[in-house]
Amino acid sequence: MKRTRLIGWGQAFCLALALVTVALAQETGGVNARYTKYEYQVPMRDGVKLFTSVYVPKDTSQKYPMIMQRTPYSVAPYGPTVYRAQLGPSQLFQQEGFIFVYQDVRGRNMSEGDFMWMKPYKPQKTNAKDTDESTDTWDTIEWLLKNIPNNNGRVGMWGISYPGHYAAQALIDPHPALKAVSPQAPMADNWLGDDMHHNGAFFLPHAFNFIINFGRPRTGPSVQQGPRFDHGTNDGYQFFLEMGSLANAQKYMKNEIKLWNEWMEHGDYDAYWQAQNVPQHLKKVTPAVMTVGGWFDAEDVQGPLWIYREIEKNNPKAWNVLVEGPWCHGCWSRGTGEKLGGIGFDSATSQFYRENIEFPFFMYFLKDKGELKLPEAYVFETGSNVWKTYASWPPKNVESKSLYLHANGKLAFTPPTDAGKNAYDEYVSDPNKPVPFLKDPSIGMRYEYMTDDQRFSASRPDVLVYRSEVLTEDVTLSGALNAELFVSTTGTDSDFIVKLVDEFPDGRDALDSYQMLVRGEPMRAKYRNSWAKPEPLKPNEVTRVAFALPDINHTFKKGHRIMIHVQSSWFPLVDRNPQKFLNIYAAKDEDFQKATQRVYHSAKFASQLKINVLK
């Protein structure tokens, strides 16, 4: 069984990194030649101790700032004589010299206490020993300042994915010594648009494959690294189809995964999920912040955008920068970033980021070195493949327009004028034969799906395809995308997936007629009016379903076409909707039914994608 398809979750990346550090460190000897490693159990205000590894420069001729990462994925390798192969966000930091701090968060690996998924911030503490992630960060920094010799009194934080979430949590009630923070691919809200859910739709293989190992119970501090779950096949489409309804996942979970059970009990955006939302608490940010994301991050494309926006809105005096590159999850931290899947970006974007954006940011705020020339928004423009700088994000120099669906599969900037009752396209959605999200078999949420060629699904009868005329000039879309569909169904609930696609022209070698996915997002229609209080659809009644897709910064080149695909399944990336109004997490196999979907494009019911075109 090939394992390469499984790589793609934040846990997988961090655990893999930890596993290779021992062998690499022994081979290179680079870290232990310049640094001395210490291990501590750092006490929190409630007495719980958190395992913390500290790498201190052997050169004591100067004082050093500390740069810290808090993680649920392990600070391995363990043992004072076993060193990591690399320290810090990139090799540049290790060469420069910092005090590097890695901490197992509460309840994970070698730290004491109980782990809680995206532990909510507590604005009102009940007593002096009440804790959350902001207090654990504060207490850790306070202890480090007093106990780690030769520090200069400044602390920075960074992290990717879940560690990025902890970096963002540190901004809620920041310690005065915390001077620079870079939340990278941070989880902001795991129900509305990060990782596990998108607009109420459950991201099945990602959630299943992540939690079946991550959520295992423990009896006390221990290294939580076990073997991957063996699906017995590389074909995720068939595996999850044969599993059936979500309730059948217990065949593999065996009721041992408390966190999975919690998710199944909280299908709607209730108090459980609302409390985990991080951006709502970012109101007193004092450190400099550089939030980093990838336009093609399959896990946390929304989180960086939300974190940046809330800091900008609520902290007008904060030094707050957004960086967005053409990257998959964490790809800015490794490799060159020259391509993703079949799409190339014409330069080493990841290397550029590490050398010209990330390193100067921390050097300036932690060491007072260099000049900081970063703009408000440093974003890569895909399609044209160039870096752009803006004084705000989204950029203000845009014109609001709409791409309208028309009869005969046409897409245009002008609204439809048809007043007839039959101004719609229809298809039959069968949850037992759902539209795949990948052409090739994969057991996980393969990163490349974010730029994959969509021709394999465009030819299906249950996918509607709309194409613009050939573009006579470049068209750059920057910022928000908002879908507004007018639909009807023979069922009482449905999913509607909208995909924005860049169709390449004929005669471009490997990209001949390639249909590049630029942005795709599902919407579970029962949440069209409220995330917390779902409502059924009335069969055969035209209904407005509107929802936001993540921002983009993409140029559709002259000679290309703009395409929009509409469908009602995207499997197994998104769990199947039974197309009945019910609790999907408790649905039975017999609940799944066919439904006829209609998407309207009349003057009265003008389905459209609202966009912002850069002037």
Q: What would the pLDDT profile of 434-490 be if each residue is shown by its tens digit?
A: 999 999 999 999 999 999 999 999 999 999 999 999 999 999 999 999 999 999 999
What confidence tier does 600 reach under pLDDT thresholds 50, 70, 90?
Answer: very high
End-to-end CA distance of the chain: 50
Residues 404 and 480 in one domain: yes
Q: Is the pLDDT of residue 17 over 50?
A: no
pLDDT at 15: 42
Q: Is the pLDDT of residue 248 over 70?
A: yes
Q: Are 82 and 22 in contact (CB under 8 A)?
A: yes
Q: Are 330 and 13 in contact (CB under 8 A)?
A: yes
Residues 424 and 309 in one domain: no
Residue 457 lies in a domain: yes
The pair of three-digit structure tokens given for residue 163, joined into one six-digit string: 């560690």
Residues 475 and 602 in one domain: yes
| Bridge partners, residue 521, by sequence | 498
pLDDT, tens digit, 9 for 90 and up, residues 94-129: 999 999 999 999 999 999 999 999 999 999 999 999
Mean pLDDT of 142-168: 98
Mean pLDDT of 121-143: 96
Neighbouring CB atoms inside 10 A of 615's CB total 10
Residues 413 and 315 in one domain: no
Residues 383 and 360 in one domain: yes
- Which tops the pLDDT comparison, 311 or 27? 311
Q: What span, in angstroms and rounded, lies between the C-alpha atoms of 141 and 178?
A: 8
pLDDT at 509: 75
Residues 440 and 514 in one domain: yes
Q: Is the pLDDT of residue 526 over 70?
A: yes
Residue 597 lies in a domain: yes
Q: Which domain holds residue 105?
A: 4-189+276-390
pLDDT at 29: 53
The pair of three-digit structure tokens given for residue 15, joined into one six-digit string: 């655990």
Q: Is the pLDDT of residue 604 over 90?
A: yes
Considering its fold, how many domains does the chain have in total? 2
Residue 26 lies in a domain: yes
DSSP string, 202-263: EBHHHHHHHHHHHT---SSS-----PPP--SSS-HHHHHHHH-SGGGGHHHHTT--HHHHHH
Residues 435 and 293 in one domain: no
- Give whole-number Cα distances, 137 to 54, 171, 187, in Å: 15, 10, 17
The domain that holds 516 is classified in CATH as: 2.60.120.260
What is the share, in percent, of the chain residues with pLDDT greater than 90?
91
Residues 371 and 414 in one domain: no
Residue 476 lies in a domain: yes
Residues 285 and 407 in one domain: no
Q: Is the pLDDT of residue 228 over 60?
A: yes
Is the bond preceding residue 572 a cis peptide, omega within 30 degrees?
yes
Residue 183 lies in a domain: yes
Number of H helices, E strands in the chain: 14, 25
293-313 burial: b if 16+ Cβ within 10 Å, else e:
bbbbbbbbbbbbbbbbbbbbe
* Domain end residue (candidates: 358, 374, 390): 390
Report field, pTM of the whole predicted structure over 0.85: yes
Identify the CA nearest to 557 among candidates 472, 500, 432.
472
- Measured over the CA atoms of residue 199, residue 202, residue 206 and residue 207, the dihedral's sign is positive
Strand order of the sheet with strand 99-104?
A: 35-43, 49-57, 99-104, 64-71, 151-160, 178-184, 288-294, 320-325, 377-381, 386-390
What confidence tier does 372 reach under pLDDT thresholds 50, 70, 90?
Answer: confident
Residue 556 lies in a domain: yes
The domain that holds 342 is classified in CATH as: 3.40.50.1820
Q: Is the pLDDT of residue 12 over 60?
A: no
Q: What span, in angstroms and rounded, lies between the C-alpha atoms of 220 and 445?
A: 31
Nearest-5° Cα angle at 110, 125 to 220: 80
Residues 149 and 22 in one domain: yes
Q: What is the mean pLDDT of the chain?
A: 94
Residue 402 lies in a domain: yes
